[in-house]
Structure 1
Amino acid sequence: MTTDHYDAELDARGLFCPEPVMMLHNRINDVEPGGVLRIVATDPSTTRDIPRFCQFLGHELLSRSEQDDEFVYLIRRGD
């Protein structure tokens, strides 16, 4: 899956823990189950927090990468 295949996006650049995950918690509900949300963040703590979020809430972390000091995640919403 490429980073240009997603259903919705969350721009969390410039935000710090816990704001990116709080916003993610709200934004994932706007995506249909099975849909993909792309998140772009600048806070390094998201490398820990977003995988845990997915694990605890039953979402699938499809990919994560770092591009130009930004962290990019693709999450498939669970049921």
Structure 2
Amino acid sequence: MNSEIDKVLDTTGLLCPEPVMMLHKAVKDLPENGVIKVIATDPSTTRDIPKFCHFLGYELIRQEADEKEYLYFIRKKTD
């Protein structure tokens, strides 16, 4: 999957709403169908980032979690 990532956004240590605000800004710079990987440590991103994607029509390709961080892979779709 790493070869398909156009941008990495590291929001480690940031709390709501900063990760989503930074994601919103970063997605604007992606080309259509570009993929961004988001690294987060705030548990509220498990709720906020999927809602963000659904609301704006981006594809949440995959999300992962372990005891330290949350990873999101998002494809920018513009229809």
TM-score category, normalised to shorter length: over 0.9
Structure 2: gaps (5+ residues): none
Structure 1's consecutive aligned runs of 4 or more residues displaced over 6 angstroms after TM superposition are none
**After superposition, what is the alpha-carbon deviation per residue over 1:17-53, rounded to whole angstroms, capped at 9, x for unaligned?**
0000000000001110101000000000000000000
Tell me the residue number matched to 2:40.
41
Would you say how many aligned residue pairs link Structure 1 and Structure 2? 77
Q: Secondary structure at the match of 2:63?
A: strand
Alpha-carbon RMSD: 0.9
2:76 aligns with 77
Gaps of 5+ in 1: none
Could you tell me which residue of structure 2 aligns to residue 61 of structure 1? 60
**For residues 77 and 44 of structure 2, what CA distance do their matches in structure 1 show?**
23
* Identity level (%): 51
Matches of 1:30 and 1:74, distance apart in 2: 16
SS at match of 2:19: helix
Letter in 2 for 1:64: Q
**1:65 partner amino acid:** E
